[in-house]
Structure 1
Amino acid sequence: MKEKILIVDDEDRIRKLARMYLEREGYEIFEANDGAVALDMALKNDFHCILLDIMLPSMDGLEVCRRIREEKSTPIVMLTAKGEENNRVEGFEIGADDYIVKPFSPREVVLRVKAIIRRSQPTMFLEQDQHTKDLIVFDSLVIDNDAHRVMADNKEVNLTPKEYELLLFLAKSPDKVFDRESLLKEVWHYEFYGDLRTVDTHVKRLREKLNKVSSKAADMIHTVWGVGYKFEVKE
């Protein structure tokens, strides 16, 4: 089955260019040139990735992203113009997983889409090979990095790619404190010159999702006041 990608941009030439290159890679492409239409499509269909422009008719891309995140964890790549640093920061705060600055190289779009789909999808494995799986196991939480799956008290937790990466990064270094600058650099691979709201927003969202399934798992993400966060393993 082909992986489905939704391209949302009000410029025909941008949609056509991205479509041409992504179809060459075997993806099934859908298009929207309007924010409200894009939101309706995103909620009614299961896309593997959404390329989402910020400046759109009827509803801007940030609002579309916000509304999608209320219901789905579909990977979202924001398309932003140069000089829209604040918009990029806000996009990450509301749950975008990556961004591409316009004008962009079509090859960059392909590489980013491939990377985000690879990170968001489980890896198929045989039952007899489970002993070789990449697992991080705690009493109330299991992270299966091969299958890109998180289980809290034996119930699956549905996370966005960036939420998953944040949890995995913290869990790989139990009881080590990371400041927000370090988390931005290691998890998002971007520096926002002191704007750290992105980390706080994602930690809050991650805790909320874990707490719906297991309060013990949610409590493992611990705030170190005045410093940052750590993954706390209680005796």
Structure 2
Amino acid sequence: MDHVSILLVDDEQAILHMLKTVLLKEQFVDIDTVTTAEEALTACENKTYHCIVLDIMLPGKSGLDICPFLRQVTDAPILFLTAKTTDYDKLTGFAVGGDDYVVKPFNPLEVVARIKSLLKRYLPTKMGTTITVNPSFSDVTSSSFSLQEGIYDFGRFQVFEQAGELQVEGQPVTCPALVYQLLLFFCKHPNRIFTKSELYERVWGSEAISDDNTVMVHIHRIRERIEADPSNPVFLVNVRGLGYKLIQPEKSSRL
């Protein structure tokens, strides 16, 4: 997998060596390692990475401190390594831009499995994809839709699968890889209810370990982007006791 670049960020050389060794055995060859948050930011400013493994407990600025700044220069999925196990700590990691986490001490094979799962969702939108100009929706009427594969129109927002892009009220909106993949999954299955465990299995992948908080945080991050009032959603709604579904307005359609 010489086309995939991975950045490992940890102040413990033993952990960096262990993870790099396991990744090399899995045919990942482009792997960089740094030991501080500042080095991580510099690395991401100078090179494109497809996945970042970021330890929270770093000297100086922590992984949580640097994550918002990383998000300004990269949309690569970020996997946190953390010794903290409380729900608050995990939710904080998601809130600042993380996509997944592994609790220390960990099995390095689990980290590799998580990386593969993140890459499986991220790479199709970034590599080997032709980016096309998005069609204007100003000429589209509810009574006449042309069939265009991979475009999902929900009125207020549209998702362009081939371009890996979300537009809200005609404006492009940045979307981290896993947030985008979850939204795209809902777009492909409108008006269907999915439990949190089903969503985790279908979007994060069978190799990952189900976690309700992960799904809930990503649901919230979708609502922040597509809803006029995220606290009172009209598109991505919770069906009490059953799960979540994305409601397709009657006059909207998949193009």
Shorter-normalised TM range: 0.7 to 0.9
Residue 167 (structure 1) aligned with residue 183 (structure 2): yes
8 Å Cα contact 2:191-2:245 kept in structure 1: no
Letter in 2 for 1:190: D
Kept after mapping to 2: 8 A contact 1:185/1:191: no
Residues 168-199 of structure 1 show CA distances to partners (whole Å, capped at 9, x for unaligned) of 13213324577989867875641239x95553
Q: Can you give the 5+ residue segments of structure 2 that lack an aligned partner in the other structure?
A: 131-147, 205-209
Alignment match of 1:149 (pick from 156, 164, 179): 164
Q: How does 1:194-209 map to 2 (within 5 A)?
A: 196=216, 199-204=219-224, 206-207=225-226
Conserved in 1, the CA contact under 8 Å of 2:152 and 2:187? no
Question: 1:143-172: CA deviations, max 9, x gaps?
Answer: 42xx57236499876532211122113213
Cα distance in 1, alignment partners of residues 8 and 219 from structure 2: 27
Q: Within 1, Cα distance between the matches of 2:115 and 2:152?
A: 30
Tell me: CA distance 1:10–1:221, structure 2 relative to 1, closer, same or farther (3 Å): farther
Distance 1:223 1:104, change over 3 A: closer
Amino acid at match of 1:203: R
The count of residues paired between Structure 1 and Structure 2 equals 215
- Larger mean CA deviation between 151-160 and 17-26 belongs to 151-160
Deviation of the 1:16 alpha carbon: 0.6
Structure 1 position 222 matched with structure 2 position 235? yes
Distance in 1 between residues matched to 2:179 and 2:160, nearest whole Å: 12
Which position in structure 2 is the counterpart of 1:217? none
Instruction: Note the C-alpha offset of 1:85.
Output: 3.3
C-alpha deviations, 1:104-158, integer Å up to 9, x for none? 11212222212211210127489xxxxxx973533763442xx572364998765
Amino acid at match of 2:54: L
Indicate the residue corresponding to 1:216 in structure 2.
none
What CA RMSD, in Å, does the superposition of the two structures yield over aligned residues?
Answer: 3.7
Indicate the SS of the match to 1:100. Answer: strand
**AA matched with 1:222:** F
User: Which is richer in helix?
Assistant: 1
- 1:86 is displaced (CA, Å) by 2.1
Instruction: Specify whether residues 134 and 93 from structure 1 end up closer, same or farther in structure 2 by C-alpha distance, changes over 3 A only.
Output: farther
Give the match for residue 47 of structure 1: 49
Report the TM-score when normalising by structure 2: 0.68
- TM-score of the aligned structures, taking structure 1 as reference length: 0.72
Kept in 2, the 8 Å contact 1:174–1:230? The answer is: yes
1:172 is aligned with what amino acid? K
Between the two proteins, what is the percent identity of the paired residues? 30
